[in-house]
């Protein structure tokens, strides 16, 4: 082939790339400018992250969701009973301080 006839001009190449992109429906970016498209392209990683820990069975949750099952939370009942016993013995939780200076901890330090 004659060299002059086959010398391809850059404008022809650009036109070729543009038409190829329009046919194949890809993005036309001849200058390789950073468009931030990669942040939109990338797969979302949130759903797979949330699946890492298996959800634990929560008796309180089940009791709330299905009250008709009439389940009893023995651990919670025992805890409440312990709190009542402590109160009877006089070992219940101390009163909450209304002001910053009144708290037991502050007076102990002094």
Residues that bind other proteins (CB under 8 A): 33-37, 39-40, 42, 44-47, 49-50, 52-54, 56
Which residue lies nearer to other proteins by CB, 52 or 74? 52
Give the nearest distance from C-beta 22 to other proteins in angstroms: 19
> Residue 8 or 42: which CB sits closer to other proteins?
42
Nearest distance from C-beta of residue 18 to other proteins, angstroms: 17
CB of 40 to other proteins, least distance (A): 5
Q: Which is nearer to other proteins, 18 or 87 (CB)?
A: 18
40-74 burial, b at 16+ Cβ within 10 Å, e below that, comes to: eeeeeeeeeeeeeeeeeeeeeeeeeeeeeeeeeee
Task: Tell me the C-alpha distance between 19 and 13, whole Å.
Answer: 10
Whole-number minimum distance, CB 45 to other proteins, in Å?
6
Residue 53 Cα distances to 46, 47, 49, 86, angstroms:
13, 12, 9, 37
Cα–Cα distances (Å) from 26 to 19, 29, 41, 56, 85, in that order, read 10, 9, 13, 45, 73
Task: Rank residues 43 and 95 by Cβ distance to other proteins and give the closer one.
Answer: 43
């Amino acid at each position: 082939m004659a060299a002059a006839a086959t010398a391809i001009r850059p404008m022809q190449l650009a036109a070729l790339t543009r038409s190829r992109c329009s046919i194949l429906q890809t993005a036309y970016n001849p200058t390789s400018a950073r468009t931030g498209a990669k942040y939109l392209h990338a797969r979302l990683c949130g759903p797979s992250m949330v699946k890492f820990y298996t959800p634990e069975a929560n008796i309180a949750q089940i009791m709330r969701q299905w009250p008709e099952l009439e389940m009893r939370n023995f651990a919670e009942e025992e805890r409440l009973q312990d709190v009542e016993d402590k109160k009877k013995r006089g070992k219940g939780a101390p009163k909450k301080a209304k002001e910053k200076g009144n708290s037991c901890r502050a007076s102990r330090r002094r």
